[in-house]
Structure formats: structure tokens, C-alpha cells
């Protein structure tokens, strides 16, 4: 029982694997297989029906011929039975032995004794019938032969009976030949039909193949501008039309999404500018400065390299605002920011902390002397004439310098010391720089 169960499961698994392999075939190949199987099944059923019909018609024809021959034989043998001419009867019987598939022929008199005989009677043949029970010809058919019984009479007086047994070997042979010939024709027809169907299906399924290729390309490239070629007004044409409509809607939706994303990015950029950059000078503001300063101090401590902070306060800026107006003060701030950017390195970061206060973050400096020299250059750049509406703006710059980790190891103290150094520069006469010192 267990062995049968395991065999059943192996057959089921094998069938599942074959079905799975067929499921992975291309659509044209699967349709061709289904069409060929349908055509082959139909042709085989038709061939079987034709073969059965041919066999039935042939047996009925053989039955009619056997009855006719038995009637002819009965008419010819009647005088021989009257005159008891057994020799002539035997000669007559042998003249009928050329009948196709004749297995047995006998003449029986009224005493139910064989008068003349040829061949061997089949074992399953019915026993001889009495004359009085057989007034007319009769035939009995089995799967492989036919038995014909015909009474022999003269002027209405019974003389005996004729018994014929004819086999169906020739009919079955012809039927088999017909069936085999039909199989050969079916095989040729299937091959021809496969070639024709393959070409017709490839042509008929071309729109589906095109849609499949476009769908794969859209999925891989995300290019929703692709379109299928219009294909008339049939089902495939409507499928292509609605497929193109779907791609158009997806493309429009993607365009809207991209526009929204671009707008969101632009809004985020604007918010970033508002949050981290000064709207007037476009320099980083105090919020961004605090983050950048903390990052510079951390990197300086990790890499053990010097960094510096400059705290810049403009001199006489309040006088400019009071004397020439805030518009002139804004113009001064913009010019000073531009001059700072020109003199500083790409790695340096000038910032506007608010009002007339600026700061410069200087990572990776060589020594304090280099920072002091750069500060002097910045003071000189600020002191150059700034002309607004024909008036020279009397502004200068006082710069305080603090270094990390030399003066401080955290951003708050570093900013505090740079601020103290800036106030020291103002006390010493303004328009100068000063390095923090305890």
C-alpha cells in the first residue's frame, strides 16, 4: 500500500512539473500545442468512427453476399439431393471454396446428415438446425465470423440445408490498413497544420507580443511615453487603445508627481535658505553658524589639527545707518560680505550673525600667525572705500581671533573668547585684529 502511494505521488509530482514547464512556454507555443492537440483529437475520433463505419458496412455487405451465395448453392444442389448425387454435390461445394475467408461449407440432408462438406466448423458455431425449424434463410454474426443457414427445397418440399461460415479476417485487415493509412494522413495533416497555424498565430498575436514588449520596456525603463501601434477596431485594437490610454494617464500622473516633487524640493530649498542663510548677504546665518562651529571643533579635536574662529564687528556701522539710512547700511553689508568671500579659502565659512556682526570659521590652519595675517588682510579689505550714492561710507572692522584647541575645546568657549578678543581690538583703537590671550 505504501509503495502504491509513493508511486502515485511520484506520478502526481511529475505531472505537476510537466504542467509547470508548459506554463512557462510562450503564448504562441501554448496556443499551437492546444490547437494541434484539438485537431489531432478530432481527427483521431473521426478516423475511429470512419473505421468502425467501414467495418460495419463491410460485414453487412459480406452478410448479403453470403446469403446470396448460399441461395445460389441451394438452388443448384437441390437436384443432387433428390438424386442422391453426393459426388456432384462435393464438386459443387469445392467450386464455392474460392469465396473470400470461407471457413466452412456443408450440405445437410433431411436426416440431418452431412451430404457434402468443406473446411472446419468453428467450435463456438451453433449446432445444425432442423429443417422443420428453419423455413427461411438465417444468419448469425459473432465478433470474428458469420454463420449462414439456408434451407434447400424443391417445389416446396424440404430437402436439406446449406451451412456457410465466413470469417472477418479480410475485413479486419482492410480496416486496420485503413486505420493505419489514416494515421499517416493525420500525422502529415498535423505537421502541415502546425506550420500554417504557427505562421497564422504569430501574425494574429503580433499585437499581443508588441504589447508585452512595450510593457516589459515600460517596467524596466519607467518610460511611460511609449505607445502601442493602433490595431483597428477588433478586440486587439481596443486592447491597444486602452493600453495607450492607461500609459497616457500614468505619464500624466508621473508628470504631476514630478512637478509636485520639484515644487517640494524648491520649497525645501527655500525653507533651507530661510532657515540657514541670511536673506540680505546670502551668507550662512547664526543657526547654521552654530552647527558648523560645533562640527569644526569636533573635527579639530579628533584630527588634532588647529582651527580658528574670527569674530568680526563693523566699526561706525550705526553712524552709517543713522546718517545715510538703512538702505545704505544694507548695501554696505552686501559689499563687505562679497569682500570676505573673495579673500577666504573655499574651505573657510563666512557667516553673518546679525546686525553688523560677522564670523569666519577657519578649519585646518597652519598656525596662529597665518590666521592673524589673514585677519589683517580682511581689515584692510573692509577699510577700502565703499561708495554709496556718491558718499564714502566710514566703516571699518574689529576682528577677534580664538583658536581650537589652543584657547578652547568647545564651541561656546571658543565663541566667547573670540568675542572677548574682538572687544580688546576695539579698545585698542578699532580697525584691527587681536588674538585672544589670557
Mean pLDDT, rounded, for 338-352: 93
Residues across the chain: 438
Query: What confidence score (pLDDT) does residue 80 get?
Result: 85
Least confidently predicted of 246-255, 332-341, 345-354, 406-415? 246-255
pLDDT at 193: 85
191: cell is 505537421
Half-sphere exposure of 256 (CA within 13 A, CB side): 6
- State how beta strands 157-167 and 145-154 pair: antiparallel
Which range is least confidently modeled, 108-112, 115-119, 271-275, 431-435?
Answer: 271-275
Residue 203 phi/psi, 5-degree rounding, is: -70, -40
**Average pLDDT score over residue span 388-402:** 93
More confident residue, 202 or 348: 348
Averaged pLDDT score across all residues of the chain: 84
- CATH of range 1-204; options 3.30.450.20, 3.30.200.20, 3.40.50.880, 3.50.50.60: 3.30.450.20
The pLDDT of 362-379, averaged and rounded, is: 92
List the one residue out of 403, 397, 384, 383 whose CA is nearest residue 429: 397
Task: Give the burial class of 159: count Cβ atoms within 10 A of its Cβ; 0-12 exposed, 13-18 middle, 19 or more buried.
Answer: buried
Please state the rounded mean pLDDT for residues 158-174: 87
- Taking the C-alpha atoms of residue 64 and residue 46, their distance in angstroms, rounded to an integer, is 27
pLDDT band at 376 (very low <50, low <70, confident <90, very high): very high
pLDDT in tens, 356-368: 999 999 998 989 9
Do 82 and 154 form a contact (C-beta atoms < 8 A)? Answer: yes
CB crowding 83-110: b at 16 or more within 10 Å, else e: eebeeebbebbeebeeeebbbbbbbbbb
Split at pLDDT 50, 70, 90, the class of 133 is: very low
Backbone angles phi, psi at 268, to 5 degrees: -65, -40
Q: Where are the chain's structural domains?
A: 1-204, 209-260, 286-435
Cell numbers at 47, concatenated: 478516423
What is the structure's pLDDT at 216? 83
pLDDT at 14: 53
Superfamily of domain 286-435: Reverse transcriptase/Diguanylate cyclase domain (3.30.70.270)
- Is residue 309 within 8 A of residue 414, CB to CB? The reply is yes
Angle between helices 27-82 and 86-95 (to 10 degrees): 160
Give Cα 208 distance to the centre of its chain. 13
Instruction: Look at residue 17 and tell me whether its pLDDT is greater than 50.
Output: no
410 in catalytic set:
no
How confident is residue 338, by pLDDT bands cut at 50, 70 and 90?
Answer: very high
Say which of 356, 376, 385, 419 is annotated catalytic: 356
* Residue 155 clears pLDDT 50, i.e. is over it: yes
What per-residue confidence (pLDDT) applies to 12? 55
| 3-class secondary structure per residue, the chain | CHHHHHHHHHHHHHHHHHHHHHHCCCHHHHHHHHHHHHHHHHHHHHHHHHHHHHHHHHHHHHHHHHHHHHHHHHHHHHHHHHCCCHHHHHHHHHHCCCCCCEEEEEEEECCCCEEEEEECCCCCCCCCCCHHHCCCCEEEECCCEEEEEEEEEECCEEEEEEEEEEECHHHHHHHHHHHHHHHHHHHHHHHHHHHHHHHHHHHHCHHHHHHHHHHHHHHHHCCCCCCCCCCCCCHHHHHHHHHHHHHHHHHHHHHHHHHHHHHHHHHHHHHHHHHHECCCCCCECHHHHHHHHHHHHHHHHHHCCCEEEEEEEEECHHHHHHHHCHHHHHHHHHHHHHHHHHHCCCCCEEEEEECCEEEEEECCCCCHHHHHHHHHHHHHHHHCCCEECCEECCCEEEEEEEEECCCCCCHHHHHHHHHHHHHHHHHCCCCCEEECCC
- 129 has a pLDDT exceeding 50: no
Q: Which of 55-59, 98-102, 207-211, 415-419 has the lowest mean pLDDT?
A: 207-211
Amino acid at each position: 500500500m505504501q509503495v502504491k502511494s509513493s508511486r502515485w505521488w511520484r506520478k502526481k509530482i511529475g505531472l505537476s512539473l510537466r504542467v509547470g514547464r508548459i506554463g512557462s512556454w510562450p503564448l504562441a507555443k501554448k496556443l499551437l500545442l492546444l490547437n494541434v492537440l484539438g485537431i489531432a483529437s478530432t481527427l483521431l475520433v473521426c478516423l475511429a468512427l470512419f473505421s468502425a463505419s467501414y467495418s460495419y458496412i463491410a460485414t453487412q455487405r459480406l452478410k448479403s453476399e453470403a446469403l446470396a451465395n448460399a441461395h445460389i448453392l441451394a438452388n443448384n444442389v437441390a437436384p443432387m439431393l433428390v438424386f442422391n448425387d453426393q459426388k456432384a454435390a462435393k464438386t459443387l461445394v469445392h467450386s464455392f471454396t474460392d469465396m473470400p475467408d470461407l471457413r466452412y461449407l456443408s450440405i445437410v440432408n433431411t436426416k440431418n446428415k452431412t451430404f457434402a462438406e468443406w473446411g472446419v466448423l468453428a467450435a463456438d458455431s451453433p449446432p445444425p438446425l432442423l429443417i422443420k425449424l428453419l423455413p427461411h434463410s438465417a444468419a448469425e454474426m459473432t465478433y470474428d465470423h458469420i454463420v449462414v443457414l439456408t434451407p434447400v427445397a424443391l417445389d416446396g418440399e424440404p430437402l436439406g440445408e446449406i451451412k456457410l461460415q465466413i470469417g472477418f479476417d479480410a475485413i479486419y485487415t482492410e480496416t486496420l490498413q485503413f486505420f493505419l493509412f489514416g494515421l499517416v494522413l493525420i500525422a502529415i495533416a498535423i505537421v502541415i497544420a502546425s506550420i500554417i497555424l504557427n505562421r497564422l498565430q504569430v501574425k494574429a498575436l503580433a499585437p499581443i507580443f508588441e504589447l508585452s514588449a512595450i510593457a516589459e520596456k515600460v517596467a524596466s525603463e519607467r518610460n511611460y511615453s511609449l505607445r502601442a501601434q493602433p490595431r483597428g477596431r477588433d478586440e486587439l485594437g481596443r486592447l491597444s487603445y486602452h493600453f495607450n490610454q492607461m500609459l497616457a494617464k500614468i505619464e500624466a500622473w508621473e508628470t504631476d508627481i514630478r512637478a509636485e516633487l520639484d515644487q517640494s524640493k524648491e520649497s525645501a530649498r527655500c525653507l533651507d535658505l530661510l532657515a540657514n542663510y541670511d536673506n540680505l548677504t546670502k551668507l550662512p546665518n547664526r543657526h547654521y553658524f552654530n552647527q558648523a562651529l560645533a562640527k569644526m571643533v569636533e573635527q579639530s579635536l579628533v584630527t588634532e589639527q588647529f582651527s580658528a574662529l574670527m569674530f568680526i564687528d563693523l566699526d561706525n556701522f550705526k553712524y552709517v545707518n543713522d546718517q545715510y539710512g538703512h538702505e545704505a547700511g544694507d548695501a554696505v553689508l552686501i559689499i563687505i560680505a562679497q569682500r570676505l568671500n573673495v579673500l577666504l579659502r573655499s574651505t573657510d565659512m563666512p557667516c553673518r550673525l546679525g546686525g553688523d556682526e560677522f564670523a569666519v570659521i577657519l578649519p585646518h590652519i597652519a598656525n596662529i600667525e597665518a590666521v592673524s595675517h589673514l585677519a589683517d588682510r580682511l581689515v584692510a579689505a573692509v577699510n577700502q572705500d565703499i561708495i554709496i550714492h556718491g558718499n564714502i561710507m566710514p566703516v571699518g572692522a574689529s576682528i577677534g581671533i580664538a583658536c581650537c584647541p589652543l584657547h578652547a575645546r568647545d564651541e561656546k568657549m571658543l565663541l566667547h573668547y573670540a568675542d572677548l578678543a574682538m572687544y580688546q581690538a576695539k579698545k585698542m583703537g578699532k580697525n584691527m585684529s587681536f588674538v585672544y590671550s589670557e
